[in-house]
Every structure is written in C-alpha cells, then in structure tokens.
Structure 1
C-alpha cells in the first residue's frame, strides 16, 4: 500500500462499510436472531479490530418536570476477530444470537433495534441500525392470552426507568389495559410488568381503582387508588392454559380492586 493510501485509510476516506442483514426482522423474546454481517472494502486496505452488534431499546426517565428518552444497550455481541479487508473486497460473516429474556416486546411505541459497528484504529466508525419486531416469550404470551380472554384491551406500553437494584435492567416495561365491563365498576386500568425466567414468569399486577366523590379525587391525587401485587406461574401452570391462568389473575385483580 502506498503512503498516500495509508493516509487516506487513517482518516476514514475510502474506509470499509459494514451492514447487518437479518434473515427475519421479527424475533421472539428468548428466541434467536439469524443473519450475516456484510463488509465491503473501500479504496484502501483496512484493518478492522472488532465487529460488534448491540441490541438496543429506549426507556423514559423523569428528571424533575422533564422526561428524558434514554437509549440503552440490552446486550452486546462481538461478531468477529481482527481481520484485514482489501480494497473492494467483500466478506460475509454469519451470526446466530440469542435474544435475552430482559428484552422488551415492541407493543405500542416501544422501539428495539440492532446497531452494527466496527472498530478501526484512528478512523471513522461506520454504523448501521435495523429495527426489530419483538414478540412475547411463550410464558408471557400465555398470560397475555388469558388477559385478552378476560376481556381486557391493550391501552399502551412503555419502558420506564426503575430504581430496583434486584433487576438486570434499569427499566421495566409497563403494559396497560382497559378493563372489560365485568371489571368496569371497580377497575379503571390494569397494568402488568413481566419478569421472565427460563421455567417460570413473575408478573407484577397493578390495579388503578375507580373512586367517586371527594374520596376518589384524593385517592387519585396521592396515588392511593393504585394497588399492586405479584403473581407467579410455573411452566407447568402456564401449560394448563388460559382458563386456569385467567382464574388466578381474576382473583388477584378482584382482591386489589376492593
């Protein structure tokens, strides 16, 4: 390589480009993402120290009167060892990646994306992003099926900052539902937060109760109308189907709505 070409590469002119090509942009929590990294060489030989993929999402954090949107790395994978790409050379590197159980589902406007990059010494770092559709884990889907069967309708879903130190991520995904008429007298809103494990799921159930008169207004003002409790389902319980799950949820909701 001439001295001039080395200089071009060192400042990122004619540098290699990287792109992630997914076999399918839809994946289930706990499932696998498959695809390949495509590297296209530039006008000069380039040494690449590392190719990586980041699984990203965004959560909301309240700062005083303002709400911040914070991008967060759920998982980071190193895809390749150091390599050298010749001028105009094309290299394809296949990958299979397991989606962590802490990944939020893309209900509502919750974004999840794959960010691609490569490290090149003293050069520009090209980046690429791919939006994903993330479906619920089977454990989570079983509970959501029961909730739908009870007549609850999806209202919204957001990822919110959480101060809990016992969780793996700095946020939780809150999924909110409108109640059916059978719960309409006592329940204004149902909120679920899922904590997945390989063989069970823990669900934080929160009920926003209805209230009337001055007492109801005061309760809403001080969040006294919100009650919450955990319910846990083993894999065996989940396999008993939506009727069984629905009965357990109904009992918890009814208790919280009193």
Structure 2
C-alpha cells in the first residue's frame, strides 16, 4: 500500500492525454478542430483542468550570442475540474482559435525547414502536469500575406529562409512576445543596392502591418546600413491594389534616401 501511494505521488500509473486533429492545416486567426482524448490510469484522480497551447521554437539574443528555446502561446483552457476513474476514457471536442500573429510554417507550397509548430494538450492532476505529444500544425498565409509574397516573387526576390525571434518591433503593436522574419535575396534590379530584405507580418482581424528591413550595400558614394519601413494592408482591400507596383515604389523610395521610409 505504501509503495502504491508512493507511485501515485510520483505520477506513476496516472492518466494519459493526446490530441487528435481533424486537419493540421490552418491560417492565422482561423480554427484548429479536433478531440482531446484522456485515458485514466490505475487509480482514480481529480483532474484540475485540461488545456491546449501552441508551441514553437524561438530564437533569443543574449549579448553577442544567442540560443533557441521553445515557447508556448495562445493557451486555452478546454475544461474545468472533473473526476477520472481508473481506465476511464474521456474525450473532449475542441475548436482552437489560432492567434492572428502566429508564425507561418508553409510558404510557396513548401514547409519552412527548421520551423517547429505544434498543438499540445496539458492535463493537470494534483498540481502535477502531464503533457501530450506535440501534434504538428501547418500554418499557411492569409490572402493578404499571399498577395504580398507573390508580388515579391514576381519582382524577382528569392525567398531564402525564416526565423522566429523573441522581442517586440519598435512602434508596432504586438500581442505575442516574438515575431517572424522572412528573408529574401534581392531581385536583380535591386542587387547593386541591397544585400537582403527581411519581411515581418503583424496581423489582426482587420489588417496586416508589413514591416520591411533592407540591408543596404555600401559603396564609394553611398553608405551601407539598414533601412526600415512599414505599411498597412486592409484585408478587405487587398484585391484592389497592384502590390508589385506598390512594393517597387516603396523599395525604390527607401533606396533613394538614408532614413526610414514609409
């Protein structure tokens, strides 16, 4: 009996939890639907709560170096307290709203290498937490983001990578403690003046704020350095704009002066 109580205190023989997604594909601001399956262990327990959260890998700068860490976000509680008998199966359907600022995992029809994104269930029993496996999630661009990404490709920019970085962008309202940077090599028409272009989307239900960072080349008569700018795309008006022409105008304007551009 003492050994059995010790096992229970250590969480041995306790319940297990797993998530079953109807589909792993979603967009920022859209839903993920599925079921959370809980199976009782070898002794009765009182579950404090059942929760879901998205998990991604985030880069953290620390002095002259950096490291990667996992970050949970968008956490939602699915149930309150309930009792679970030994071996009992308990299933809860869910509809999980993906935060609007969630990083993208799939661009131009391909998964971004090295980018981790998944949904995980958490079960709390007597202040001990049991977490299920991470179910991979594929986050695809919103229509507004697709239009801008396609416009960059038509201008000749070449996508080379993406990173999720901890921190807030200056002057931009963020609800998450990190942001995603999409990296592009310049189109031939800009290559003499630009080393690289980084694009960040900060999205809410009505609009997408687009933050651009240009790594400018230096020369005999020009200074190198970074150029920054941002503009807002209303989701309802995205189809009424020639985004290739707009991006070209913004980029040329930014290269014609040394300070920030708009």
Q: Same fold judged by TM-score > 0.5?
A: yes
Of 227-236 and 93-102, more deviation after overlay is shown by: 227-236
Q: Distance in 1 between matches of 2:26 and 2:38?
A: 24
2:186 paired residue number: 179
1:206 paired residue number: 213
Q: Distance in 2 between matches of 1:167 and 1:122?
A: 32
**Distance 1:126-1:186 versus aligned 2 partners, 3 A rule:** closer
2:15 paired residue number: 16
2:150 paired residue number: 145
Q: Do 2:120 and 2:131's aligned partners in 1 also have CA atoms closer than 8 Å?
A: no
1:197 paired residue number: 204
Name structure 2 gaps, 5 residues minimum.
106-111, 257-262
Q: What does 1:1-258 correspond to in 2, within 5 Å?
A: 8-106=7-105, 107-121=112-126, 123=128, 125-164=130-169, 166-212=173-219, 219=223, 224-240=224-240, 244-258=242-256
Q: Do 1:49 and 1:119's aligned partners in 2 also have CA atoms closer than 8 Å?
A: yes
Q: What is the Cα deviation at residue 182 of structure 1?
A: 2.2
How many residue pairs get aligned? The number is: 248
Q: Do 2:21 and 2:35's aligned partners in 1 also have CA atoms closer than 8 Å?
A: yes
Give TM-score scaled by structure 1 length. 0.87
Give TM-score scaled by structure 2 length. 0.85
Name structure 1 gaps, 5 residues minimum.
none
**Distance 1:245-1:133 versus aligned 2 partners, 3 A rule:** same
**Distance 1:204-1:211 versus aligned 2 partners, 3 A rule:** same
Q: Distance in 2 between matches of 1:188 and 1:209?
A: 6
SS class of match (1:204): strand
